[in-house]
Every structure is written in structure tokens, then in C-alpha cells.
Structure 1
Amino acid sequence: MCCGKKRATLAATTGTAQRLLGHDTTHFAFRYIGDTALTTVGMNTGKIYRFASKGAVQMVHSKDAVTMLEVPNLVQVED
């Protein structure tokens, strides 16, 4: 990926992160778009999030939501 695309990706992620931090809900929905199962641990809560298959959706605690944006194949489900 060239540096221009990296900057655009970072800018998009930063904007999403700012929206998550400014939101007053306690959970956000994330969808797994990878081809296999995924298990990840929330960096701030220690909660285990299991995405059993492609398309699986989990509610992620707001304390973990910003770091989940960095997990490959996880996308926030927009309202």
C-alpha cells in the first residue's frame, strides 16, 4: 500500500475513533468479514470476543471499540 492510501486509511480510522469516543453508548456492533473464525481480546476490558464465522456480529464494549478498529477484518456496523 502506498503512503497516500495509508494516510487515507489512518484519517478514516481516526475519524471513526473520534466518533466512538464521543458517543455515550456502552456498546458498539462490529461485524467480522474474514473467511475463518476470529477470537480477540478487548485491550481495555479483557473481554473475549468470538466471531464464529464470516458475517458474525458482536457487541463490543465502548472501552474496547477504538482498539477493535485496528483488528483486521473487523468493521463497525454503522447505525
Structure 2
Amino acid sequence: MLGPGSTNDHVRRMRRVDAAPVPGDLIFFGRITKKSVKTHHVGIYLGQGRMMNAPETGAVVRIDDIARLKDFAGFYRF
């Protein structure tokens, strides 16, 4: 569990995965720079370009291609 806060708060507590991601890494969408973090979505990487994802609050969790969202910001892990 990520705990309280927004996706912006969560990504700040993690480290970016610069090598190959592994299943279980988190995938953030939005814009992340050295000076600002503006994310709007997070999924769980499953491998082979797929993620576990609930597209909006209250939606059924499903499996989607990472390419479904166009503003990929990076893979992160604790």
C-alpha cells in the first residue's frame, strides 16, 4: 500500500528504475522533472508491456497495455 497522498506524493518516495523494469514496479503517467512532479495515474507493471490498471476511481481493475496512456513518466520502485 502506498499510504496517504496523491500519485505526486508517492513517486517522490520511490527511486526511478533506469534499467529493465520487473513485474511489480509501479508505472507513473504525467510529467516528472528534477524540479516538479505532476502525475495523474499509476499502474502496476506485469511485464511484456502490460500493467494492472483501474482507469478511474471506482473502475474495475483490468489488464491494459502501457501504451494505452500517452504520457508515460517512468517506472519506479521502493
- Which has the larger Rg? 1
The answer to whether the superposition gives a TM-score over 0.5 is no
Q: TM-score with structure 1 length normalisation?
A: 0.28
Which of the pair is proportionally richer in strand? 2
Q: TM-score with structure 2 length normalisation?
A: 0.29
Which of the pair is proportionally richer in helix? 1
